[in-house]
Structure 1
């Protein structure tokens, strides 16, 4: 029996049940053979995550779901989410159009903006469209087109877009109509990739950005995430504070805050806590064990696993066949995205990166990129030849 915030969590994870309080109201649920009945906001969520299903109401409308053997049929905005995250798949709609996807053995096919994202994240790959135009990608065994391994990335992020190839060929891109204003060290990155732009700060402060027509304004560090993703947006704070967001025309306004969610979405389970404690979860065949707040994320999204820490500590993770070990906060990013790996390694060789106080040391092409974007320098190599430069107090030398 536990008390984590103002009220507390009292729960039993075995055959009986969990009875919680997460804010003003409470969560009472049972993750085993029986069911979960809880209340996260003004309304309530009643679900059963084991053999039976989840029947939930998260907002004014509600989610009616079955996440495990049967499926999830959900409605999050005007349209809804119809999903099956376990053996079958997820088919849902988050914006004006729809997201239809399947995260388990097959893939994800979905639509986040005006157009669509068709994605396969497991054995197959990701094929998707993020802005008005889109990204068509395959990340795992097949590749990304956006292909980050031997082939490259060909994509369009705004009205114009980025069309590039980071592997054997190079980068050919156009990042928007406007400008990029960046500071990746102690302050952050403020830039504009589409018509509007991304304004963000990845280090001690946070990320405030805009990715689509409207944008994401986010703060991922000590403060939180405040963002907009579709026509309307998500306004979120995942750190010490709360998450307030809006995903479709209507939206979800949530506070995961001091307490936490422990759940089961795939064959195995999701146990997580997004506030001060963390997220430990499992989405695919193996599992995601994650902590997104002060502690970190330790997770597994593909065949193997992702062990990640996004807050003060870092991200250590694995997105493909092998693994990604990353630290995005004060420490650094060491990761692997393709068949071989990124430490951070996106091409044939590898990227060893530190984006916070230290810097980025990385390799995007045949050879390598050794970079430091903060107080020190950036030394890197992007094509067959390379760029060695420093954006901070020191220097830039380019080839």
Structure 2
């Protein structure tokens, strides 16, 4: 029988979310994501108020879109639901704002996105498959045996950071800076935390800009190469970016190339431990790896939400959304919508329509790195199976306190020999 870690219905010190008036329910509280108590909140909204208005939150008033089909409707209508004011529920002060192509509409969006997309296209990823497999084998072979270690640090971060360094042609010895800058970029400044102010966040990201500006100058004065910096430096759509826009696009590419894969690598191992019958199913039939990867990405939903702002008044779900209103698409909720995904709360690696999930978004802003994310996860699991590795979770996962990146800072495991 599967051993499943069940989430209690009571959250926030024993408070029953069913007793909270709907108008007071704020599903964006980061601690819900850190202690994994978010699920009853979203279940209630999908059932009782799928287009929900939260009037009072640390991020101001916002609409929550929690059902699958409604999320697709918002995500595919970039004219009415714009990303120009940001893609997270957090409002960034103007002096710390960085533009990027995910915050732009046509034609600028397409020009900048198309500049970097060839390196992430399936035909180029075929050329990288051997390198990814070699690295995955090396990482797995170098892990401790019969002693506990942090899977997040030694596997999830290491594999994804090595790949990012390759895509940017970034100095390999400094590759952990990419993880650091990614974590800083998605952090909501909080008193008492490492990033406790917008000023500190910007100061660290300015170090990122300085580092990449040096790489930019090297690449723009050399023959074009097939790496992200060279591609941007030599393209008419990106070569004249101001420094803040360059930084914004760097952050977008670093976060996009890091968080989706990194947290799905960790989540996948956790889910297989929580659902041993699914792991047995995969071991008995390794051809299910591709299907299992899609189910891991759905079940994890590494980016919990994306935000838009309405550019015009619109009725949705019988509710009046006004021009300028903040609208948050909760991918993490849509991926558990039983009206579209059968038994959505169950982890099932061979489910029908396994690719039908929201983790990569829809429309013009659909995740650029989705093919790379799937490929890295597929290769890693193929190598785990080929090596007949028994990786046991030996402690509770440590989740990050973020309503945007649904991820982990630690997962203690042990390889059984």
TM-score (norm 1): 0.29
More helix as a share of residues: 2
TM-score (norm 2): 0.28
